[in-house]
């Protein structure tokens, strides 16, 4: 590793933080929290989960997850489904309305990011660098 690693980490953290903050503002339902959107996105991508698995995935306590899911249930974005074998266990599944919220939020965020790229005046070479950076960021996130 080079001596530039700490400075690179700082610059990258700051840039990613600012970009993520701008993108988080684009959502289909303004009243949804980032945590609620993350849960909807996870359910859309990975299907039905138990409350405990959702809590583990999002790194929150089971009571916190139960409260978040309760709000999503009230909005009609997810449903709770009792486990057939163990009545103490509850599964959470995204509804069609929840799917629509995720789809629209993704569309808005992609549109915003595309506009930001256009406004920055990036050329094809810059876009190639961004694609490479995206692959590296994904690799880091998956590690």
Average pLDDT over residues 53-74: 93
CATH code of residue 108? 1.10.10.10
Q: Taking a C-beta distance cutoff of 8 angstroms, is the pair 93, 46 a contact? A: no
The domain of 43 spans 5-142
Q: Taking a C-beta distance cutoff of 8 angstroms, is the pair 91, 81 a contact? A: yes
What is the percentage of the chain residues whose pLDDT exceeds 90?
81
The pLDDT of residue 56: 92
Tally the domains of the chain: 1
Residue 44 confidence (pLDDT) above 70: yes
pTM of the entire structure?
A: 0.84
């Amino acid at each position: 590793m080079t001596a530039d690693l700490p400075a690179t980490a700082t610059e990258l953290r700051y840039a990613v933080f600012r970009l993520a903050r701008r993108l988080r503002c684009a959502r289909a339902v303004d009243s949804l929290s980032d945590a609620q959107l993350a849960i909807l996105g996870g359910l859309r991508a990975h299907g039905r989960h138990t409350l405990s698995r959702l809590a583990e995935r999002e790194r929150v306590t089971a009571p916190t997850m139960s409260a978040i899911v309760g709000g999503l249930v009230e909005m009609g974005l997810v449903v709770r489904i009792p486990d057939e074998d163990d009545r103490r266990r509850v599964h959470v599944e995204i509804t069609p309305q929840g799917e629509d919220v995720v789809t629209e939020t993704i569309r808005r965020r992609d549109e915003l990011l595309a506009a930001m790229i256009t406004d920055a005046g990036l050329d094809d070479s810059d876009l190639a660098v961004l694609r490479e950076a995206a692959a590296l960021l994904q690799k880091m996130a998956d590690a």
